[in-house]
Structure 1
């Protein structure tokens, strides 16, 4: 696969968005401390997990400002396509050709740390004067899910899955946006008009769809634990009930192309007027706002579960990690620290449409005036909301979702597998991974 490399000088020529980033907290390291020559420059490589026309210029502007404030450091930007980013990281780790710094999902931390690919950040973070500004729950979550309970990533953004809806379509047919799952399934049918090439919903059947599918299942069932008495709750009857209704929408009330739709295809269908609703996180706000007017779309929470409460995935954050092979850890930490400053976090999250983890950025006016952010905070701040925690700590977790769940979804949609067979295969894979993890962990404790 080709990794697209963009130098910051090239990015500077293409940027048209102004950024008022000012100086971030000092605590810098001298060039002598990093082994850098007094008159030379250090180059660090930064990998972005989700390159594209919306996000790449945002990173470019942040990098440009960082280099202005740190003239002895050059940052080389490498953009990875969202749906293949994990595979590219895997290959780089296997080949020992890792970046210095990267944007890394919290769910990747257990596997990457297990493979000894990441640099622990505890010693850096503990002496950073701004550490208390970063969401403490997110920091503790990142430490809790890795086997050695060290800090391998500083979260700079928090997300939440929602339903993006064409509010103008709902208004035109005189239907209110769904608040229950029964209303959701009925509205998908009501808003489908094949004569106009319109469908009520779109399913992400291609790469990456497993993560969204899992969040929908637990949002429906209200189940708050992934394992119970050693057994996975994946194949719970409530999940089978949901998936039978959900997959039955395919082709009747969703496009036929859904079986292979990746993120871009799914979002394009919504933004170009082919579908009325799409499930994704608040981070696709930038794409929607570029294609649609503010009165044409909105974010609404996933309906409350059949148990009567919201359910959201815990640890739905992305952070900045430093890879262990870096020759410039101190310069890399400067960059990590800069990204997590109030100014950089606020700019990135406002541009993308996600939630900052820096408390100072959370107090900015744009947070209060962004409807989709308010929707997310409504869910997170509801005292009855359940946060369920997937087994991110399992080294095979991502692999199972990518290889078993994504392909299994397509098998069900094509009629080659039943919902029950699909869930059983999924649950068995997770249970086997859990058993292996417990055996290895017990062995480690005995040896220690």
Structure 2
């Protein structure tokens, strides 16, 4: 198995290098930008700006409100909006990198930042930020997170818009009917998942994410139960993903599938999982702050709560980092001045507050984070407190690895489904992931 993984990695690298060389051969005076030598231009500060939303459909309505506000304040600039589903966004950008047609501005979160930065298609934003009205107004931790995710050179390639956090949503009405305690510990979580399940009546204690995005949720459950607080061992060369404690945790978590969860979960991404929870009689859902407003609309605020992830046996909460989202300026833009105006406007106090209240996330703008709606959105308030009161340890995922997004998504999501179906052991699955991560870490260190 390990040999096939290494062959697969070498093949993928060869393809990428071949594509890069092909671009070099056809470019005139390639400057190493990854865009065929096209450095773009500042432009007139007017005209059209093409914006790709990396969470199209989910955030389309609120982005259109922000765009309408921007165009009203800047009547000489038109923003053309293109919404792209989160599951398709990276592949669409990668295709555009090779074939042309990149936007002026695009959603660039921490999870995909290293891959784009490595291909040198993003403009550095440190100088623009230092000279803008945003200087000193953005959450410093979010800025640091995006700098760290950019591949290790300390450059800022994306302006943060918001931060997310893992949340355990549970149906307060169902818990009260069953006489269950709030699922604040992993033991109470598993007890509730079992007690609330009556498959014959289509009632389940939990919904597990088996489709797109499943790996990050599984990692959160693993580290939360094992209590391991670092993604790498002391040497920094080997991942702790396949530590025996994490293997045991994944075995227990995956065993929930079809026992205490719907069988449809096998293919559910977050939108299907959220819709299923909102419309059915499922006790618990692990997602993040982003779906809070969906639950309020579907259930009403009095039928559920969103609380921080359960604590382990030590009384400490351990969870994996949730990527900061942001906006990047693509290097080949011919209208960078206008594009930057849009980024600056979208992350200003009023627009940051409006956007994040709709998304249910923590604003990057410090002034927006003080607005009244934060205290009224209970999951956001509790998440913010959990991250600052010393009760939570964050396991930092290696967003800086250019291969991270591929390893944690396309490469291994089908194998996680095999684990749920009992066709692959948790140990074999995590050993496979660990081999890929260790190779990617070694490659990154050699490059550095």
Length-normalised TM-score, structure 2: 0.87
Alignment pair present for 1:262 and 2:262 = no
Once residues 118 and 212 of structure 1 are traced to their aligned partners in structure 2, the CA distance between those partners, rounded to angstroms, is 29
Once the two structures are superposed, the pairs formed by residues 420-431 of structure 1 within 5 Å of their partners are 420-431=427-438
Tell me by how many angstroms 1:315 deviates: 5.8
Q: SS where residue 120 of structure 1 aligns?
A: coil
Q: Look up the match of 2:440.
A: 433
Once the two structures are superposed, the pairs formed by residues 152-163 of structure 1 within 5 Å of their partners are 152-163=157-168
- Unaligned 5+ residue runs, structure 2? 1-40
Tell me by how many angstroms 1:316 deviates: 2.6
CA RMSD in angstroms, aligned pairs only: 1.5
Once residues 280 and 201 of structure 2 are traced to their aligned partners in structure 1, the CA distance between those partners, rounded to angstroms, is 10
Deviates more, 1:132-141 or 1:219-228: 219-228
Contact 2:218 2:250 in 1 (8 A): no
Q: Look up the match of 1:326.
A: 333
Tell me by how many angstroms 1:195 deviates: 3.0
Q: Look up the match of 1:235.
A: 242
Once the two structures are superposed, the pairs formed by residues 183-194 of structure 1 within 5 Å of their partners are 183-194=188-199
1:18-49 residue CA offsets vs partner (Å, 9 max, x unmatched)? xxxxxxxxxxxxxxx95439xxx510111111
1:222-272 residue CA offsets vs partner (Å, 9 max, x unmatched)? 222111122110001111111111111111111111111111221111001
Once residues 109 and 142 of structure 2 are traced to their aligned partners in structure 1, the CA distance between those partners, rounded to angstroms, is 12
Contact 2:181 2:188 in 1 (8 A): no
Alignment pair present for 1:410 and 2:417 = yes
Length-normalised TM-score, structure 1: 0.87
Q: Look up the match of 1:104.
A: 108
Q: SS where residue 232 of structure 1 aligns?
A: coil
Alignment pair present for 1:290 and 2:308 = no
Q: SS where residue 36 of structure 1 aligns?
A: coil
1:318-375 residue CA offsets vs partner (Å, 9 max, x unmatched)? 0111111111111111011001101001001111111111111111111112111112
Q: SS where residue 200 of structure 1 aligns?
A: strand
Once residues 289 and 384 of structure 1 are traced to their aligned partners in structure 2, the CA distance between those partners, rounded to angstroms, is 27
- Unaligned 5+ residue runs, structure 1? 1-32, 442-448
Q: Look up the match of 1:36.
A: 44
Contact 1:48 1:103 in 2 (8 A): yes
1:261-306 residue CA offsets vs partner (Å, 9 max, x unmatched)? 1112211110011421111001111211221111111101111134
C-alpha spacing 1:235/1:306, structure 2 compared with 1 (3 Å):
farther
Contact 2:166 2:322 in 1 (8 A): no
Q: SS where residue 277 of structure 1 aligns?
A: strand
Q: Look up the match of 1:171.
A: 176
Contact 2:145 2:324 in 1 (8 A): no
C-alpha spacing 1:294/1:119, structure 2 compared with 1 (3 Å):
same
Contact 1:141 1:315 in 2 (8 A): no
Contact 1:342 1:358 in 2 (8 A): yes
Which structure 1 residue ranges, 4+ long, deviate > 4 Å from structure 2? none
Tell me by how many angstroms 1:79 deviates: 0.3
Deviates more, 1:309-318 or 1:240-249: 309-318
Q: SS where residue 425 of structure 1 aligns?
A: helix
Q: SS where residue 276 of structure 1 aligns?
A: strand
Contact 1:394 1:437 in 2 (8 A): yes
Once residues 129 and 78 of structure 1 are traced to their aligned partners in structure 2, the CA distance between those partners, rounded to angstroms, is 27
Contact 2:165 2:322 in 1 (8 A): no
- Equivalent residue in structure 1 for 2:82, among 56, 78, 82: 78
